[in-house]
Structure 1
Amino acid sequence: MLRKRAGVILIENNQIALIERKRNGKVYYVIPGGGIETNETPEQAARREAVEELGVEVHLSELYCTLQDREDYYYKASIMQGDFGSGTGDEFTTADHRRGTYKAVWVSLAKLKTLNVYPEELVQSLEINMGETEQLEKNSRKGKLFTMGR
């Protein structure tokens, strides 16, 4: 049985926060997130993973999607405080070369479709909704939370 997971979708300045992974000579990207611990809600897990992987505390605005056939929850989020790229999770602090490297990065939404990003279903959904980003960026600059329509 697959472990339940939760993650965050952070978009600022027409860029999305991702984790760059280098493993076995391959480079790929993942939406920040990870496993839901025992007695933890998906929302709590998403917030914890943002701190561990990105080094930032986030406000979750709403559930963006759950992925079919899995219990994966992805939330729209905005950064409240922290130092992006200063994650302190085990994957960043433990030198296990078999797991490869992890690095928090900002990637242009326009470049998103040219990269190998997981989960693929979520990225495809984001690409469908990218036409809305210009107005959404204006709203986020006005202090409103980033929201992405379905």
Structure 2
Amino acid sequence: MNPIRNSAKAIIIQAGQVLLTKNKDATGYFYIFPGGGQERGETLVQAVKRECMEEIGQDVEVGELAHVREYIGKNHEYAEWDGATHQVEFYFQCTLKSSMPGEAIGNGINPDDYQIGVEWVPLDRLHEYSVYPRALIPILQGGAAAICYLGDTN
């Protein structure tokens, strides 16, 4: 049995755009928020800072916890290959320490296996992209800032 995995993610919004990693697998392109697995002995804040350096090559200022999402793979469309996954994701409001709004940002020093780039995506067009978790799209487009438990969602 696989353990439950904690993951710390960054929500980085500047000038009406959100920064996402662009990924490609056998099903096509998809976008996710920068961040990843918490390591033993590491706080969630330390994890999101490290993961942002690895994936987007940027130092971030970590703000408030914004959202919590569970992902139980067996309950979703990718259950065939992701059914053993159970992950709890903590989404933090973050800002880039040294980047200007809309500035091109590339992959960091250790991008994820499927990561092919980093893109600024306009918030008002977010629903046109394959963004995970999808449940965050209407929340971000509506400007909600309160902590929100998204539940088991893809």
TM-score range, shorter chain: 0.7 to 0.9
Identical positions, percent: 30
Aligned-pair CA distance for 1:27: 0.8
Question: Which one scores higher on RCO, CA 8 angstroms, separation ≥ 6?
Answer: 2
Local SS of the residue matching 1:67 = strand
**Structure 1 runs (4+) greater than 3 angstroms displaced:** none
Deviations 1:14-39 (A, max 9, x none): 11000111111511111111100111
Please say if 1:108 is aligned against 2:122.
yes
Q: Which residue of 1 aligns with 2:108?
A: 87
**What TM-score do you get using the length of structure 2 for normalisation?**
0.72
C-alpha RMSD of the superposition: 2.0
Local SS of the residue matching 1:81 = coil
Q: Which residue of 2 aligns with 1:19?
A: 21
Aligned-pair CA distance for 1:81: 2.5
| Cα distance in 1 for residues equivalent to 2:114 and 2:34 | 16
Deviations 1:73-92 (A, max 9, x none): 1110111126831411153x
Amino acid in structure 1 at the alignment position of 2:98: Q
Amino acid in structure 2 at the alignment position of 1:119: P
Question: Structure 1 stretch 100-109 or stretch 47-56: which is displaced more?
Answer: 100-109
Deviations 1:94-143 (A, max 9, x none): xxxxx4442111111111011110122233321332xxxxxxxxxxxxxx
| Cα distance in 2 for residues equivalent to 1:42 and 1:124 | 25
Task: Name structure 1 gaps, 5 residues minimum.
Answer: 92-98, 130-147
**What TM-score do you get using the length of structure 1 for normalisation?**
0.74
- Alignment map for 1:1-150 (pairs within 5 Å): 1-68=3-70, 70-81=87-98, 84-91=105-112, 99-129=113-143, 149-150=145-146
Aligned-pair CA distance for 1:66: 1.3
Aligned-pair CA distance for 1:67: 1.5
**Residues 18 and 107 of structure 1 are in contact (CA less than 8 Å); yes or no, is this contact kept in structure 2?**
yes
Give the structure with the larger strand fraction: 2
| Cα distance in 1 for residues equivalent to 2:26 and 2:45 | 32
Local SS of the residue matching 1:37 = coil
